[in-house]
């Protein structure tokens, strides 16, 4: 039980104290391009009034989430509490229909374009199956992601492979399985790839360019500038040099340019800047080599709201503005309009996921309340890496106590193992309680580790009132089985 002494700082209005680490602000942009934050679901689904959610906390949960009078939350008609009891904690709950609806929303926003789901956000066989059924392609960056997709029957001609340092296994798998496009990210890959292609055959490739556009929610996820590891620069001419070398290779068919400028981008303007610079290179290639490349890939990086009130990227506005800008820029350059590809990952799966933890301990240190749960940085390293902020919620019971400021911390032997800093929790939070963290579908389990030999959580799909296991919990036997020497 929680010590009585903790009731005073909880019940009072404590000083906020030193602020927690925060996400670096995005590059200032003209907000007129996307005036209203909007998710890809119908607005009524996201804003349905609920007497049991007066603060609107569920606005960043899956659209199917509903609060109950008993303090529980249901997702896709399934009780979060019952799912936690059945599958144990920590556990990831994934709303299948939310994923599918977001796939459809992207197809509506980008008619005539190729939409490829970015597997790095989170991939399992079920997710690959869902996005394939919804008509999306797949963007992978390793032989592992590619091989997993193939086991679901995913058509490899709808797969794109990229990455800044592709291994021989990555390239070998891509050629053996026949991926649709390979994105060249360095000069070294040109000769390495060409040397592996059988005589008399050709493979479609694209060149990833760096357009010199700074955008993204944190310095670690800004990939459109020359000071990071991805792509080939327009500024120093390496992109143009790579194009020239590829056009000389009889085994490589250059079909387009690829550009990904960052992640958690909440406005349209940076994409338009990148598009204009990319079309400029397309025009130079046409003028110099007489080749009009038929494809242009603008990547992904579309922001989602992690807490109520935060801004997400309006994908309808993005789709209409990008298509209009592409048409206008190509007309001005007297180019045929290339086929557009986008690669959303987080925008499709992030808000479909909810992580559920069990409280193990609660203690007070000075004026700070620490709520320790049975997971942490091994299943979600993003707060430690990027200072990401979440909005955890007590589920499973109602509390009449006034809320207090607390840090929800993990179980690992690191002072930086903090899942949610400086958040409001019920004043009577105690061991045994369940805490749910929404917007947990992207870059949680896909970035998970085996730190402290704590097994990775399972993934459970929720659909139409039913729950089914997609990925089982990693056991101690799984981890011990890999350790074979003395």
3-state secondary structure 19-68: CCCCCCCCCCCCHHHCCCCCCCCCHHHHCCCCCCCCCCHHHHCCCCCEEC
Active-site positions?
413
Report residue 147: phi and psi, to 5°.
-65, -40
414 annotated binding-site participant: yes
357 annotated binding-site participant: no
Residues 6+ apart with CB under 8 A from 85: none
376 annotated binding-site participant: no
Question: What is the Cα–Cα distance from 199 to 189, expressed in whole angstroms?
Answer: 18
Residues 6+ apart with CB under 8 A from 139: 116, 117, 118, 119, 120, 159, 160, 162, 300, 343, 345
447-462: b (≥16 Cβ within 10 Å) or e: bbeebeebbbbbbbbb
Task: Give me the helices (H) in 214-309, please.
Answer: 238-247, 269-289
Which pair of tokens denotes residue 117? 């789901």
344 annotated binding-site participant: yes
Contact 423, 407 (CB under 8 A): yes
Question: What is the Cα–Cα distance from 201 to 251, expressed in whole angstroms?
Answer: 6
Is the bond preceding residue 293 a cis peptide, omega within 30 degrees?
no
271 annotated binding-site participant: no
pLDDT of residue 164: 85
pLDDT of residue 50: 63
**Residue 372 DSSP label:** E
Q: Looking at the domain covering 4-11+23-94+350-475, what would its CATH class be? A: mainly beta
301 annotated binding-site participant: yes
Please report where in the chains the tokens 């997609």 appear, as a residue. Answer: 470
Cα–Cα distance list, 19 to 327, 364, 408 (Å): 46, 18, 15
Question: What is the Cα–Cα distance from 102 to 98, expressed in whole angstroms?
Answer: 6
Handedness of CA 29, 33, 39, 45 (dihedral sign): positive
Question: What is the Cα–Cα distance from 343 to 106, expressed in whole angstroms?
Answer: 10
Averaged pLDDT in 10-residue chunks for the chain of 486 residues: 38 34 33 36 44 80 96 97 98 98 98 97 97 97 95 95 91 95 93 93 94 56 55 86 94 95 86 91 95 95 93 94 96 96 96 98 89 96 89 95 94 94 94 98 94 96 98 95 90
In 3D space, the residue among 130, 149, 40, 122 whose CA is nearest the CA of residue 355 turns out to be 122
In this prediction the pTM is 0.87
Q: At what angle do helices 187-196 and 238-247 cross, to 10 degrees?
A: 20
CATH of 96-349, one of 3.40.50.150, 3.20.20.10, 1.20.1250.20, 3.40.309.10: 3.20.20.10
Query: Domain coordinates of the chain in residue numbers?
Result: 4-11+23-94+350-475, 96-349
Is 96-349 in the same CATH topology as 4-11+23-94+350-475? Answer: no
Cα–Cα distance list, 344 to 36, 206, 221 (Å): 20, 18, 15
Which pair of tokens denotes residue 168? 């021989």
Question: What is the Cα–Cα distance from 394 to 436, expressed in whole angstroms?
Answer: 6
Chain centroid offset of residue 415 CA:
26
């Amino acid at each position: 039980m929680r010590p009585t002494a903790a009731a005073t700082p909880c019940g009072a209005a404590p000083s906020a104290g030193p602020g927690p680490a925060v996400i670096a602000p995005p590059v200032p942009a003209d907000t007129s391009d996307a005036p209203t934050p909007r998710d890809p679901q119908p607005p009524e689904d996201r804003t349905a009034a609920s007497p049991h959610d007066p603060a609107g906390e569920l606005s960043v949960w899956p659209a199917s989430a509903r609060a109950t009078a008993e303090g529980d939350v249901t997702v896709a008609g399934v009780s979060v509490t019952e799912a936690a009891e059945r599958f144990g904690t920590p556990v990831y709950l994934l709303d299948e229909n939310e994923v599918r609806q977001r796939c459809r929303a992207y197809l509506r926003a980008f008619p005539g374009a190729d939409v490829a789901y970015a597997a790095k956000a989170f991939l399992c066989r079920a997710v690959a199956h869902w996005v394939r059924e919804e008509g999306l392609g797949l963007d992978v960056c390793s032989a592992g992601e590619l091989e997993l997709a193939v086991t679901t029957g995913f058509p490899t001609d709808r797969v794109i492979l990229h990455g800044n340092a592709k291994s021989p296994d990555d390239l070998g798998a891509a050629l053996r399985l026949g991926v649709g496009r390979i994105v060249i990210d360095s000069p070294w890959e040109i000769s390495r790839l060409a040397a592996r292609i059988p005589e008399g055959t050709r493979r479609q490739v694209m060149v990833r360019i760096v357009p010199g556009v700074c955008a993204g929610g944190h310095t670690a996820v800004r990939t459109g500038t020359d000071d990071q590891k991805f792509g080939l620069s327009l500024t120093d001419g390496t992109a143009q040099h790579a194009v020239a070398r590829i056009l000389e290779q009889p085994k490589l068919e250059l079909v387009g340019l690829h550009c990904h400028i960052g992640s958690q981008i909440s406005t349209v303007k940076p994409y338009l800047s990148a598009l204009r610079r990319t079309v400029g290179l397309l025009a130079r290639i046409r003028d110099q080599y007489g080749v009009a490349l038929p494809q242009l890939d603008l990547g992904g990086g579309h922001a989602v709201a992690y807490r109520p009130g935060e801004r997400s990227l309006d994908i309808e506005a993005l789709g209409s503005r990008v298509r209009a800008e592409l048409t206008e820029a190509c007309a001005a350059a007297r180019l045929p309009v290339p086929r557009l590809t986008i690669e959303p990952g987080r925008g499709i799966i992030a808000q479909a996921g909810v992580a559920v933890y069990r409280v193990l301990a609660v203690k007070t240190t000075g004026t700070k309340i620490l709520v320790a749960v049975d997971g942490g940085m091994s299943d979600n390293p993003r707060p430690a890496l990027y200072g990401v902020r979440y909005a955890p919620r007590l589920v499973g019971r109602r509390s009449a106590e006034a809320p207090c400021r607390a840090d929800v911390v993990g179980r690992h032997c690191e002072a930086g193992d903090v899942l949610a800093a400086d958040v409001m929790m019920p004043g009577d939070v105690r061991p045994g309680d369940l805490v749910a963290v929404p917007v947990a579908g992207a870059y949680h389990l896909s970035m998970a580790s085996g730190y402290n030999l704590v097994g990775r959580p399972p993934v459970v799909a929720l659909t139409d009132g039913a729950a089914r296991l997609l990925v089982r919990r990693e056991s101690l036997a799984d981890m011990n089985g890999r350790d074979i020497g003395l």
